[in-house]
Amino acid sequence: MNSGSSCCGADPNRNWDAGFGGPGASKDPCCNSYHGPYANSEVKVKNVVDLIMGHGNFKSSISMHSYACIMVTHAQTFLTSLSFILLAQLQSKNSPPSMTRYQVGSICKLIYQASGGSIYWTCNTGIKYSFAFELRDTGFYGFLLPANQIVPTAE
């Protein structure tokens, strides 16, 4: 439970120490974009931060979310070109076409500003090739992709 609320949990992709609490994140503990009480407060986020900071020398990071996009932090020619190669691979799978219509570009241009996101944090720590894959759904199921979409999404 979130302190002072009947709601529980936080959006892990608003919980990173990269613009934490800024535009696109909510202070409302009952909102889907609730950023949590403080940066890296969520166990899964803290574990990844500890792994990356403890290991160092990561070259690439890919985070996966709901909604069909392949995003980079800002328009970088190389990352955008690589994203289109990844897109071609995704579209070559035998999934329903309506579920695999992906877009490529920067987060702010494709969806909205999302402060506290993992992709910003990984870039800030020096991970050169940082991507966020927004998988499958384009709004019908939202953040609750049905179980029957898990395997086709992974494929």
pLDDT tens digits for the chain (155 residues)? 677 778 888 988 899 999 999 998 999 999 888 999 999 999 999 999 999 999 988 999 888 776 655 555 555 677 778 777 777 777 776 555 555 566 777 776 776 677 888 888 998 999 988 887 776 666 677 667 778 877 776 67
User: What residue type is assigned to position 116 of the chain?
Assistant: G
Q: Would you mind telling me the total number of residues written for the chain in this entry?
A: 155
SS3 95: coil
d(Cα 18, Cα 118) in Å, to the nearest integer?
8
- Domain at 12-154, CATH from 3.40.50.300, 3.40.630.10, 3.90.25.10, 3.30.930.10: 3.40.630.10
Residue-level pLDDT at 15: 95
CB neighbour list of residue 61: distance below 8 Å, 6 or more residues apart: 52, 118, 119, 122, 127, 129, 130, 131
Structural domain boundaries of the chain?
Answer: 12-154
Residue-level pLDDT at 139: 67
* Residue 134 annotated as catalytic: yes
Structure tokens at 134: 């927004």
| pTM for this model (two decimals) | 0.75
Residue-level pLDDT at 52: 95
d(Cα 10, Cα 29) in Å, to the nearest integer?
7
Maximal CA-CA distance, the chain: 48
Catalytic entry in 11, 42, 134, 137: 134
Q: How far is CA 131 from CA 9, 70, 81, 89, in A?
A: 24, 7, 12, 15
Residue-level pLDDT at 54: 95
Sheet holding 129-135, edge to edge: 60-66, 129-135, 69-72, 103-106
